[in-house]
Every structure is written in structure tokens, then in C-alpha cells.
Amino acid sequence: MQRSFDLFDTLAGRLHCHPQCIFDFVEKEFPFSGFRFYRSIAELQSNGTLLDIYKRLQISFGLSSELASDLMQFEFEIELRQVFPILENLNAVQDGDLVVSDTYYDVAQIKQILRKISLNKNVEIYATPCGKGAGFIWDKLKSSSISFHVGDNVHTDVNMPRSRGIEAFHYVYSGLSIPEQIMVDLDQNDLAYLMRAIRLQNPFSQNSLEFLTWEEQCQLNIPLLISSCVFLDAFCKKHKKRRVLFTARDGCLWIQLFRVLYPEYDSIYFHASRFTYSNPSPSFVDYVQKLYTDDSMIVDVQGKGFTCERFFLEYLKCKPCYLAIVNTGKKHHAIFRSTKKVEKEHSHTFKKSMERRFKTVAMGSDLEKINADLVGALYDVQDGKPLRADPEYDPKWIQPCHLSIEKCVELLPYFEIKIFDKRVVHWAIHAITSERVLKHVRNISEHIHLPSKDPRIHLHILSNGSLYSTSI
């Protein structure tokens, strides 16, 4: 049985969500002052096809035929640049299915759009200005063997085909999600549209653990990391820092986004851990001395900076410039500071103390999980190369997080996100910690195991960075 699919917001999305965004880019980049207004007026006067729209535009505003032709071609080039595949629906298309669209584009242009989104199935295309909305396309197709139609518009894709006896499925996921709408409400439109574009290109089977991991990354952690990038840039400018050391392992995703947004900085993945700070080898000390300069700073996703500062004061005889997205101490710099005391003696009751302790640990654990690297914990650096234990979790559950970031890196150049809003950071941290992300990934172990030359000796690193051994 044949199925039919709507095109825009069903098989293909636009990076900036709305079709009018195409007109804005033409106005800015062609450039053509007032293009969005003139183009909208011309469409209202036309028969709904792109050729007639530009004929009206040429006549009404005195454009030369050459300029009108160049504008029309440029608009379509912008369209091709903006479209991306909505993988959930694209992967459902089979040979012999139909693509049915109310659009000003003709069949040849629709074929180019389908090639751009990598639809490689043999499909039949029905493209008209108003065939779905007026109903005559469904009159034409109702005698065919269509099992159902999928589309995002309630009137044209659901009510009209059903009125002709064709079953229809209303696709609602191309609209803004709740987190994306929150970003729009905070005047972070480009961030919202970026989150949406990544969400709709989720390559995993819907409701699988990998699917949910990808979605948590793009809906919760990416807005946190991008906002932190904007903050970090302003911080570096204010404090005259040119080199940024992103602490492993939690900084593995943050550094990828910062490098794209701010390539002018010397961004380095910094191999350091509580254990190497507390138990530094001469080689590790040499590694840090070579990296850290007067115009350097150290950043981390979550931490107090206590062991970092202690190491620097003892071995480099200086206090580091340290910043954490979430700083759970009172010292050093923070984008978000959480200083709730968790010691029993500072509580009114033991129960309240444990509740606060759990909340602090959960915050750190959730932030660590959603920013986890694919490698194990660091226990030394020799000749500039990191020595690591095996990962304390199955990397296959972390891989979707990294793939989501790779997609973000690919799309970031198409968006402008330059204004920092602390409300985005506060919302994202609250969402990550309250949602308890990556529930299927067990928490970081209380300790990890290190390789030993003597098989009778079992080496452990505790979560506080201390080392102990046991004998068999």
C-alpha cells in the first residue's frame, strides 16, 4: 500500500523554523532592502507559484527581468541551505510512496529539495499552491491505494484527506518542544531553532535509550554549554585570557562547541583529574607547567577548584584562574554557584543534611553523566600523553551524547547566539538535575581500578582522588 507524506515540517524542516526566515536571509545577504515585505505582497497578488510571484514582484516594484530572476534563484539557494531532514519520517518513506505538498515550488524544485535531504527513494510528487487545502488533490488521490497520509497541518494534512476517506496521521513533533519554547520566551530564538534542528535529526529508533540520550543532550545540555561558551568569551575578554584549558573529562563536549563559536582562542583539552592533582608525577607537573601561562585559564563543568588550586600553589607557586559552570564552593569563578553546605553539623536534622547531600551529589553526577567522555579516568600524564583507566560505564550509552554534539558542531555556523542570559543556565541546570538524566547509565563508581605491574596488587582511586591498594 502507498503512503503519502507532506514535505515541509514533515519530511524536511527549515533551520530557522519559519518559511519567512528565507525572505529575511535574502533581504540581508542578497542584499535587497524591504524584500520580505515586497515578497509577501507579491505572493498575495500571485497565483501561488514561484514564477508568478516573481512576475508580480517585477511588475509591481519595477524590477528588471534579470534582477527578478537573480532574486528568485537566490531565494531557492537559501531554501536549499536551510532545509534539513526530519529523520523519523524520512526513514519511513519507501519506493512508490507519494510526496504531496502545498507549495510555490514546482516538481523540479521539490526534487532538488528531496535530494538535499537525502531522500533516495523513488517517489511520486504532487506539488500545487493549494491542492491539499482546497481538496482537489485529495479528490484526485482518493481512488488510489493510499493507506494513510502524514503531515503537520491540521486542515490540509488531516481534515481534508479524512473528508475524502483517506486516513491521516497528524505529525506534531516539528513544532517547538517545551524547552525550545522556553528559549523563545527568553528571547533566545536562534538557540531554540538550533535545538529543534538537532532534535529532529535524531538518528535512533524512537523511544530507544539511544534516542532519549540524544534528545536529553540537545534539549538540556546543549543550551547549557552554548550559553556557557558565550559567558566564557566575555570572561576571557575581561580578564585578557587567550588560552583556555578545558578540564578532562567533563570538558570534552564544551570544548567542541567553544572551538566552533570562538576559534580565535587557543582551546586545549586539558588532561587533569583530582587524582593527578593530588598525586602528581614529575611528568604531570612538567605537562601542566608547559601548558599554563599568564594568559591561561582552567575551566570545568562542575567543581570547587580546591584540588586544582592546591596543586598550583605547591608546584607552580601561583594561584590558577579557575572557572566552573557549576561551582559548588565559595572560591574561584562560577557561571552558576551552588554553595549549600552538606555537613551534618550544619543541619537542623540529620535527615535534612542527607537530603542536601544527595541533592549536591545528584547535581554533580547528572552533570558528569551528560558531559561524560568515551574514555576512562585519568591517573597520569607521561610525555604529554594521558594514561587512563578503563571507562567505568558502557561507552555505548554515552555515544549518542557525542553524536548529538557533532550534529550541533555541524549546524552552529548557521546560527547567531551571542547574548548571554543567566536564566538559560539556571533553567538548564535545574532541568538536568531534576530530570535525573541518563537514568540508564549507572552513576560514576565510588572508585575505579588501575592497572598494576604486580597482579597480586589491586589499585583503587576513590571518587575524592585518593589512592589505596589491596593485596590478593
Q: Residues 6 or more apart from 115 whose CB is under 8 A from it? A: none
**Mean model confidence pLDDT for the chain:** 90
**What is the reported pLDDT for 365?**
79
- Confidence tier at 354 by pLDDT (50, 70, 90): very low
**Residues 23-27: what's their mean pLDDT?**
98
**What is the reported pLDDT for 145?**
82
Helices (H) and strands (E) in the chain, counts: 20, 17
- Confidence tier at 447 by pLDDT (50, 70, 90): very low
ω before 249 within 30° of 0 (cis)?
A: yes
Give the separation between CA 322 and CA 241, rounded to whole angstroms.
12
C-alpha cell at 464: 575524592
DSSP assignment string, 303-348: E--HHHHHHIIIIISS---EEEEEE-SSSSEEEEE------GGGSS
pLDDT in tens, 387-433: 998 888 888 889 999 999 999 999 999 999 999 999 999 999 999 98
**What is the reported pLDDT for 471?**
46
- Residue 81, φ and ψ in degrees, nearest 5: -70, -30
**Residues 281-307: what's their mean pLDDT?**
97
pLDDT in tens, 96-128: 999 999 999 999 999 999 999 999 999 999 999
**Residues 280-305: what's their mean pLDDT?**
97
- Confidence tier at 460 by pLDDT (50, 70, 90): low
pLDDT in tens, 157-166: 999 999 999 9
**What is the reported pLDDT for 1?**
80
Whether residue 458 is predicted with pLDDT greater than 80 in this model: the reply is no
Burial class (CB in 10 A: 0-12, 13-18, 19+), 87: middle
Whether residue 445 is predicted with pLDDT greater than 50 in this model: the reply is no
Angle at CA of residue 223, ends 217 and 226, nearest 5°: 110
- Confidence tier at 436 by pLDDT (50, 70, 90): low
C-alpha cell at 440: 540508564
pLDDT in tens, 194-237: 999 999 999 999 989 999 999 999 999 999 999 999 999 999 99
**What is the reported pLDDT for 351?**
41
Give the separation between CA 244 and CA 296, rounded to whole angstroms.
6
Whether residue 14 is predicted with pLDDT greater than 90 in this model: the reply is yes
- Residue 434's identity, in one-letter code, is S
